[in-house]
Structure formats: structure tokens, C-alpha cells
Amino acid sequence: MSAPPTARSAVTAADRRGELAAFLRLRRERLAPQDVGLPVGPRRRTPGLRREEVAERAGVGVAWYTWLEQGRSINPSVQVLDAIARALLLDPAERAHLHRLAAVPGAAAPAPAPVDPPPGEGTLQTILDALNPLPAGLVDARYDVLAFNDAYAALDPRIALLPPSERNVLWRLFTADEESQPLVDWEREVSTMLGHLRNEFGRRLQDPWWQGYVHRLRTASSRFAEMWARHDVSAPAAHRKTFRTADGRRVAIVATGFTRAEAPDAKLWIYTPADPDAARVLGELLARYREVGAAGLLAGAADRAHTEARPSAQRTAGPGQPPEVSSSASSPTPAQS
């Protein structure tokens, strides 16, 4: 049985105020006194600034700011929120997130409704295919991979082998074993993605679909739960990252996102090589993928790893002695840094 409209609205408002309270507290705790020109002083028992210091910097009452951090039902104005944003040194993405959580009328538009299936899908695939040998894929706000070209599959063949309903980048990054992780700087890249996800989540607090998605990730991965609790927020931007290919090579690319007018809930991400060596490797991977497919890329990499490990895994044993196993041969390549 569904709750009456008034009850549903009350629950949603309480959830939103809880998100706002946690966001303000964590942003306050990350600031050191010296960050805002205050003396450190003795006897600071909690991290970051004190509530009264934030209130003073923002020009609001201490009790009023405390109520805001406690999630009480109060209605701050845009001017007051901007003053708090300046006091907490929030960047533009964090400021917009603060406005959304405070439900300021007209401060931030809600997220567009997802389009399913996206219109012009045949045209999209034609565009993606024309971008080869540049890896390119359409990824929605939850990091579901909706479409991709051959170069994208060659760079990350494991995700290409998943059923379409399971092609979620974050789910794979947080639940797959270390040896199959495609990112070299896992911590930095995943932190950036979660900042984007939190930004989008703030626009969809009333969406049970999103609530369920975050809940499943928190349940499946304690690491996700820990990082999600930081309430970090960031806006998408072109950035450089490094992939580990199926055969163990490293490829540095620049990821650039574009929004489709007919599907604003998703971005077309295009990976351009960061150097000539990356361009060469991407071309070789694409040619090999078209020859043997995603499963063939992974099988070939596994065979090569087994062959290369065999000579170093044991030395000639003396009479009555077992072969000596090399510790480096049995250790997986770390996927996190």
C-alpha cells in the first residue's frame, strides 16, 4: 500500500534535509582553521571548523546554522546559502548541490527524465562507429554503458562481454576482482566518478530507482559505502586517465564528454590518445579485437601471462628437491594505487 501524498512529501523532505545536514557537516569538517585565516588555537577536539566559526564567517546566527546542520525544517534564502557556500569555500558544483538540497525555488532544475530507448539509436551507433579508432561510448548519469564502438570494447573487453543490463562502470569497478580492473589510478578515478554521481543524486532524491541503485552498491561494496559517506561533489570535465589493457600495457587517454540534445541524461564520452604511443596501442588493440573479439583478447592475454610466468616460476631442482616457486609469479598485478 502506498503512503498518502502528504506522508510521502514529509518523508522526502526529511531525507533531503538529512542529506543537506550531512553535506554541510562534512564540508565544515574538511576545512582547517588556517584555510580561512583563523588561528589554530589549543583544545580543538573535533576536526575542521567549529559551527560558530562558520556562522560568523557567513553572517548568520549560531543557533540557526546549528539547526541547519541538524536537519531541522527551516527555509534558508539564496543569499544565506551563498554566504554559507563562501564560508565553507565551496566550488561551483558544490554550491549548486547545496541549493538543490535546500530546495531553493528555481535555484537548480531537476534532472531530465531518462529516455528509454534513446531516440536516434541507429544514428548514434553510426556516429560511434565513425569515431574508431578513438574509443567512444554513451554513458548515462548512473554510469550504465548504453552503447559503444569497437575501440571502446577493445580497450575494456570485459565490459563488452557483460549482458547489456549489467554494463555498469561503477558496479564493475567496486565489485570485480583486482586483476580485471581496467584503471591504473583506481582511487583517483573512482573518487571523481563518485563526485559526479553524488551531484546527479542530489537532483534525484525522490527517485526510488536511484535510491535503490545507491543502496545496492552500498550493500555490495564496503569501499563504496565508505567513499559515498564523504558526500564529495564534482562536475564532469575533460580529464586524463590511464587504462590497463587486457595484455597488461598502459594507455593514457583524455576523456571528453558531450551531451546529446535528445538524451540529456547521458553523455557521449570520447577517449583521445594522450601521446603517440597511446595512439599506436589503441590502433593495435582495435585491429586485434576485430580479428578475435573480446573473448579472444582476454584468452590471448591469459595465455601469454601463463607462458611468461612458467620459466620464472621454477628453477632446476637438485636431487630430491621440489621446484622453487617465485613469489612474484604468484602475486596479482595491483589494480589500485
Q: What does the block give as the cell for 186?
A: 583506481
The answer to whether the CB of 202 falls within 8 A of the CB of 97 is: yes
Predicted local confidence at residue 123, as pLDDT: 85
3-state secondary structure 256-295: EEEEECCEEEEEEEEEEECCHHHHHHHHHHHHHHHHHHHH
Cα dihedral sign for 163, 150, 113, 203? Answer: positive
The answer to whether the CB of 239 falls within 8 A of the CB of 267 is: no
Residue 231: C-alpha distances to residues 21, 30, 52, 225 (Å)? 11, 11, 22, 11
- Measured at the alpha carbon of residue 150, what is the angle toward residues 146 and 151, in degrees to the nearest 5? 105
Helices (H) and strands (E) in the chain, counts: 14, 5
pLDDT by 10s per residue, the chain, length 337: 344 444 444 447 788 888 888 988 988 888 888 888 877 766 777 778 888 888 888 888 888 888 888 888 888 888 888 889 888 988 888 888 888 888 876 555 555 555 444 545 578 899 999 999 999 999 999 999 999 999 999 999 999 999 888 899 999 999 988 888 899 999 999 999 999 999 999 888 878 889 899 999 999 999 999 999 999 998 888 999 999 999 999 999 999 999 887 777 899 999 999 999 999 999 999 999 999 999 999 987 766 655 655 554 444 444 333 333 333 333 333 333 3
Predicted local confidence at residue 80, as pLDDT: 85
Helix/strand/coil for 305? helix
What single string gives the DSSP state of each residue in 21-47?
A: HHHHHHHHHT--GGGGT----S---SS
What single string gives the DSSP state of each residue in 230-254?
A: T--------EEEEEEPTTS-EEEEE
Predicted local confidence at residue 207, as pLDDT: 82
The answer to whether the CB of 158 falls within 8 A of the CB of 217 is: no
Helix/strand/coil for 3? coil
Phi-psi region of 103 (alpha: psi -120 to 50; beta: other; left: phi over 0): left
3-state secondary structure 151-170: HHHHHCHHHHHCCHHHCEHH
Cβ count within 10 A of residue 41 = 8
- Residue 23's nearest CA partner among 236, 225, 211, 202 is 202
Predicted local confidence at residue 327, as pLDDT: 31
- Residue 68's nearest CA partner among 15, 18, 8 is 18
